[in-house]
Amino acid sequence: MPRVIECVPNFSEGRNKEVIEAIASGIAGTDGCTLLDVDPGASTNRTVYTFVGSPESVVEGALNAARVAYHAIDMRKHTGEHPRIGALDVCPFIPVQNVSMEDCIDCAKEFSEKLALELGVPVYLYGEAADNEDRKHLPQIRAGEFEGLPEKLCKPEWKPDYGLAEFVPNWGATVVGARTFLVAFNINLLATKEQAHRIALNIREQGRGKDQHHIHRRMRLRPGRMKNVQAIGWYLDEANLAQVSVNITDYKSTPIHMVYEEILKDAQELNLAVVGSQIVGLVPLEAIIQVADYYMEKDNLFILEEDQKLRLVINRLGLNSLGPFSPKERIIEYMISEDKEGPLISMDIRDFILTVGSRSPTPGGGSVAALSAALGAALGAMAGFLSYGNKKFYELDAKMRKLLPPLYKTMKDLMSFVDADAAAFSEYMLASKLPQDTEEDKALREEAMQDGLMTAVHVPLTVSRITNSMWPTLKELATVANINCKSDLQVGVRTLETAVWGTFYNVMTNLKDLKDDEIKAKVKKEIDAAVHLAQASCAEILSILDGRNE
């Protein structure tokens, strides 16, 4: 898997289209960088750019953007609703794929050093990149904003991490960091700026300052209700509404829906209308699915398909209120992924069968075993669906809501292994064709072949694990499911047993050439146990089904 880091620079320009596009071009024109999103705001006078690339590429992409901004933005003329300290106000690096937080910290420090050296601007480190505990949080560094920077730079405790402690009038300062995903989430209110900010003070972790408790007698007793939340209230002239603008720094601990519901409570207490919300930049898929799960549980909804869950979230949060929310353009996983479906699973049935029956060694038994497992799971899911939402079996609805999701998810998960098995074989064959001219060549070839064999063992072993995870669910389903699906379940469990046997044969044929005896013994023990479990479970479920004659 390629190494991918996300970079989200925020520039203090949201109105001049030419400048916004020039900065975007600086990023997009960098080799190895993919610009995913450009999100300008007129009232905030700020544009958030999101791009991804290798560690080396994202540093260069951020530098190219900064070079454009240095000549195009003059902070002496800047006004806007959003707090800011410089032309390139903040530039975080975020791990996405096959990289660590340490990698992002290295990027942040390399970028900071190069930025300060080339442009002669002061740079502060924040987040995980900060060496100074007092600079971990962005609001602490940005306090006083651009206007207070000349005085700030004179204080020893605010000496920049990179660059000289000298005020650069056209630029200000830049804050660079490394962090996990931050969700920028704005909730729309038919209210004044002051009312929106009042709610922001209620919910943000920082709460109110000492001089802010007089604002509202009832509210002052509950400041800072939400962990991992930064918030401010502002007014959007172009939309004629106010917003509580929120940064959620840890969406796993403080989900989006929790923030939305808390703001909704405060708005209702103040008799203010909430009219949708807005996600700025990109958002992780997990953060959106969290919201779907919450409203599904809250309203007792039963939804399996991912795209339907996304529709539910868009509707409940009003994410289309200020512009279309397109999941393919706003969810990070969708943006960086290549085609999710491999060439084999994308084939129609006829072509797949003909390809298996050709002279090509792939797809072979491993791919067929994975497909068999997916089909077995599919028959289980079918039996569940035909037992759900049917007036004749209405008493089973609650149970089917419990049994269907794991079967349906497993069915979809197994599909990817049809191509994974063929890819594992190709990896091994490529390794076998490496040169053997020198002793070093031979050693490298042997190492690559052993790695290829490990992959070829791991793929079917994983398929056996996933397949065997379904037996408890299928046993419960066989006991109560629509009797008209009896034969379908019988075929399904036999197919799953066959799939596990298929994984056994594929594991064993590759295991014999592995040189690590300890791994061989461990894998052999596991795959033997997998076959025994599949045989016993299949027999037990068939017995249950044979006993059902009603």
Element (H, E) at 117: helix 101-119
Closest-CA residue to 464 (of 361, 384, 366):
366
Instruction: Look up tokens 């106000």; give the residue.
Output: 89
Residue at 369: amino acid letter:
A
d(C-alpha 244, C-alpha 388), whole Å: 42
| The pair of three-digit structure tokens given for residue 72, joined into one six-digit string | 């195009």
| Phi and psi, residue 177, nearest 5° | -155, 180
301: left (phi over 0), alpha (psi -120 to 50) or beta: beta
211 a catalytic residue: no
* 257, 246 contact by CB (below 8 A): no
Residue 285's SS3 state is: helix
Element (H, E) at 6: strand 4-7
Cβ partners under 8 Å of residue 403, min gap 6: 384, 473, 476, 477
| The pair of three-digit structure tokens given for residue 112, joined into one six-digit string | 């900071």
Element (H, E) at 37: strand 33-41
d(C-alpha 248, C-alpha 255), whole Å: 8
List 39, 78, 82, 137, catalytic entry = 82
Residue 249's SS3 state is: coil
- Within 13 A of 155's CA, how many CA atoms are on the CB side? 8
What secondary structure letter does DSSP report for 272? -
| The pair of three-digit structure tokens given for residue 467, joined into one six-digit string | 């397949």
Residue at 414: amino acid letter:
L
| Phi and psi, residue 124, nearest 5° | -110, 145
82 a catalytic residue: yes
| The pair of three-digit structure tokens given for residue 12, joined into one six-digit string | 């203090």
Cβ partners under 8 Å of residue 156, min gap 6: none
Q: Which residues are catalytic?
A: 82, 421
